[in-house]
Structure 1
């Protein structure tokens, strides 16, 4: 299964749990774009940079569980907001047309799954270039 299939599968499973399917697709699209943007941002440093940032924010056990092949430990909306920054979450909320708490909660639900799927062998990919190309391709697909 390719990276695009993996991330799309995560989004589809998130959308299936939503009460308002039309709104969920739009919100999920924006949420996924934000996660892709975060991972592909050169300042983040790809998946490894994001993993390091989350671990440095005091969530080493949680992020290690997402990378490992075992169960994923949850993260709260407050924790994700602290680690990624209030302005990032606030901008996401504005794009999605929801409040900051709900955006942080959605991100807290999606991010562990995305990191888990992008590290299927229990290791952070060494070559972020291939990952970035796959994520950029997914972003292009979603733009259509």
Structure 2
């Protein structure tokens, strides 16, 4: 099972279940975000350096830290990641560059936050797939898919 299949299944939308293209794109976006972070030299720390080089180090540091996550605008995110990287990620996710920037601006803070519990970056700097997947139930709400209401 590929990373995309695992993510789609976690979001309740596996291709075998006839999932909707938009939700498949969301799973692809998260997969692309994970792959992008892990492909940076130094993983999360490499991404942190990239944000610092573009004047947005305080934003990504808030995602790693234990406090409130600072928002990032799609334009700032595109500036940090680079237009070529945004285009490549958009192609993988099957969305336009503008759509990707907006969706990634909403998702990336949560992915980084959940991948760095207690403000601790993993020793090798790589995102832990299992840990992030365990947090995706909460991320699904960002895409309009909410969890079942609790009976009480």
Per the TM superposition, whether the score is higher than 0.5 is: yes
- Map of 1:87 onto structure 2: 84
Q: Residue 63 of structure 1: SS of its match in structure 2?
A: helix
Q: Which of 25, 28, 42 is the matching residue for 1:27?
A: 25
- Map of 2:72 onto structure 1: 75
* Runs of at least 5 residues in structure 2 that lack an aligned partner in the other structure: 1-6, 14-18, 134-152
Compare relative contact order (CA 8 Å, sep 6+) and give the higher one, 1 or 2. 1
2:58 paired with 1:64? no
2: CA distance, partners of 1:46 / 1:83: 15
* Runs of at least 5 residues in structure 1 that lack an aligned partner in the other structure: 1-7, 16-20, 140-144
1: CA distance, partners of 2:93 / 2:37: 19
Task: Within 5 Å, give how 1:14-53 maps onto structure 2.
Answer: 22-41=20-39, 43-53=40-50
Say if 1:67 and 1:116, in contact at 8 Å, map to a contact too.
Answer: yes
Moved over 6 A (4+): none
Q: Which of 94, 99, 110 is the matching residue for 1:97?
A: 94
Q: Residue 56 of structure 2: SS of its match in structure 1?
A: helix
Structure (1 or 2) with the greater helix fraction: 1
Q: CA RMSD in A?
A: 2.8
Task: Count residues with an aligned counterpart.
Answer: 119
Q: Return the index of the structure with the highest Cα Rg.
A: 2
2: CA distance, partners of 1:121 / 1:31: 25
TM-score by length of 2: 0.67
